[in-house]
Structure 1
Amino acid sequence: MPVVTSPYRPGTPCWVDLMVKDQQAALDFYRDLFGWQGEVGPAEYGGYAVCALNGRPVAGIMAAMPQEGRPEPPTVWTTYLASDDADATGRAIAEHGGTIMFPVTDVGTTGRMLVGADPTGAVFGVWQPLEFFGAQVVNEPGALTWNELNTTDVEGAGTFYHRALGLRPATIQGMPGYYSLNVGDRTVGGAQPVPDYLPDGTLPHWMAYFSVDDCDSTVDALVKAGGSVIQPPFDMPAGRMAVVQDPQGALFALIASPDSP
């Protein structure tokens, strides 16, 4: 199992969480789909649930909390990028054309976070670890394996993430139009124009990819559990993948790599 035992380098996707109307229904759905263990958390943290795979944290699920006078929160997976100073990262986001949607907040003794949007509107989180640094297992069936920016301006977004968060974009040989996102000499994610197969009107966003043993059978299980298929399983350079929605409408991707067990 690819276990993570130390904090992620700044700029690296380190955590994902899901905001939904029905938290318990989501916990049940992802338990059955990925084998996650999770339960509604303490009231002082809004009931936030940390889901685990074989005892190690992999993702969070929280209940949407509508605020008076504001639109209903969307049902979405959010990618969090690591930072060693959330306040400084927040200033850099604003200085380089991004928007702070939820200012820097202390999350007990676990860490500090903010939620922002890049200049194209893609929403992401920033996590400064204290006692908790993020996902402790990745690249394993049932765990996060890739984070991808789908945007209307790859070049402009790439410049923003490089300047504000240290994510350096680079072209990939044999994959025209697709870019890697790199921290130092390590590829930590990807970026591309918003794909044509996504529903009309899909806004720029970060897509979370979860590893599975068998893409086709996982899609079948998802559909039987009330989910829907946006892009049926297809083969691509990194493996066999599909883009799907859970029963409450959250968009995410599944991928079975050639070397999956």
Structure 2
Amino acid sequence: MPRAGNRRCRVGRCSPRHRGGTMPTRDTPWPDGTPCWIDYGASDLPAAKAFYGELLGWDWTADSPEFGGYVNALRNGRQAAGLGPLMDPGASPSWTTYFATSDAAATCDRIRAAGGTVVVEPMEVGPMGTMVVARDPQGNQFGLWQAGTHTGVQVYGEPGSLVWNDAAVDDPAAAREFYAAVFDFTYEEVPGAEGYTTFATADRPLGGLGGTSPGVPTGWATCFGVASTDDTVAAVEAAGGKVTMAPMDTEFGRFAVLTDPWGAVLTVMQEPSAA
């Protein structure tokens, strides 16, 4: 049940982890290096709960005063994401990507050795696990999560859940070197995608990494599955959010980049089968 703050996903480059069939779920800790959890730092917690609950079909666990009011979003009764107040009142609302680790302290050592910065040292969150907040050498923020009773996302690859995480960075080659040193990632370039690569451990694609694009924020992005990209865009605009990148069709589905009413970036993807 971590908490911190960050970003977006890339047009034509969101690749859902699952296509069709029954809803994929997981109740055990994710392998090291997997984007295993996402959470949102809110400036207005009740309003953010109302907005995202309606937008993505989420219910919520009970408020946890001992953890600052942090709550888990539930999709069909399973953990999909987290939401809590901003840790730094001066920060902007944003989504954060957390990577699984079985040894948070050792991963922090690798982050520092590779030139990154540990912003929040390993911190136990009750029996649920241990969280870390860090930045890569280019200043892009991400988290670590060492699972305890809270193992991360329990539903994924479906509408209302996480389908992809990637980063837009100023120097992709340097970023690939950093994340390979920290998580032992290997990379595969996506043909025709201007140098964008997927990253993997044990030959299992986990996310993507590429250069920046005009008008699209840098940093780690969260891409949610939706039943209808166009309907989701309309709902965000009606609630006071904005469209950063208009819906467009890609080989993976219909994709859009949005900002919520508080300026946080999110991306959405409708799979081709849902079109």
Contact 1:77 1:252 in 2 (8 A): yes
3-state SS of the aligned residue for 1:247? Answer: coil
Whichever residue aligns with residue 185 of structure 1, its letter is D
Of the three residues 74, 77, 97, the one matched with 1:55 is 77
3-state SS of the aligned residue for 1:141? Answer: coil
Per mean C-alpha deviation after superposition, the further-off stretch among 119-128 and 233-242 is 233-242
Q: Deviations over 1:27-70 (max 9, x none)?
A: 00011101101156211111111110010000011111446xxx
- Give 5+ residue unaligned stretches, structure 1: none
Q: Deviations over 1:105-155 (max 9, x none)?
A: 000000001000011111000000011110000011010100011100111
Whichever residue aligns with residue 28 of structure 2, its letter is S
Task: Check 1:239–1:188 CA distance in 2 against 1; reply closer, same or farther (3 A cut).
Answer: same
TM-score (norm 2): 0.89
Q: Deviations over 1:173-219 (max 9, x none)?
A: 23232110111111010011122232xxx4x3100000011111110
Matches within 5 A, 1:65-144: 65-66=87-88, 72-144=90-162
Q: 1:222 is matched with which residue?
A: 236
3-state SS of the aligned residue for 1:259? Answer: helix
Whichever residue aligns with residue 192 of structure 1, its letter is G
3-state SS of the aligned residue for 1:196? Answer: coil
Q: 2:272 is matched with which residue?
A: 258
2:261 aligned with 1:247: yes
Q: 2:203 is matched with which residue?
A: 185
Of the three residues 43, 57, 60, the one matched with 1:35 is 57
Runs (4 or more) in structure 1 with deviation over 6 Å come to none
Whichever residue aligns with residue 49 of structure 1, its letter is V
Q: 2:192 is matched with which residue?
A: 174
Contact 1:24 1:40 in 2 (8 A): no
3-state SS of the aligned residue for 1:128? Answer: strand
Whichever residue aligns with residue 41 of structure 2, its letter is M
* Cα distance in 2 for residues equivalent to 1:41 and 1:124: 24
Whichever residue aligns with residue 259 of structure 2, its letter is Q
Contact 2:169 2:210 in 1 (8 A): yes
3-state SS of the aligned residue for 2:26? Answer: coil
Matches within 5 A, 1:158-169: 158-169=176-187
Whichever residue aligns with residue 141 of structure 1, its letter is P
TM-score (norm 1): 0.93
Contact 2:33 2:201 in 1 (8 A): yes
Q: Which has the higher contact order (CA 8 A, sep 6+)?
A: 2
- Give 5+ residue unaligned stretches, structure 2: 1-22
Instruction: Give me the identity figure in percent.
Output: 37
* Cα distance in 2 for residues equivalent to 1:66 and 1:258: 39
May I ask how many residue pairs the two structures share in their alignment? 253
How large is the Cα RMSD of the aligned pairs? 1.3
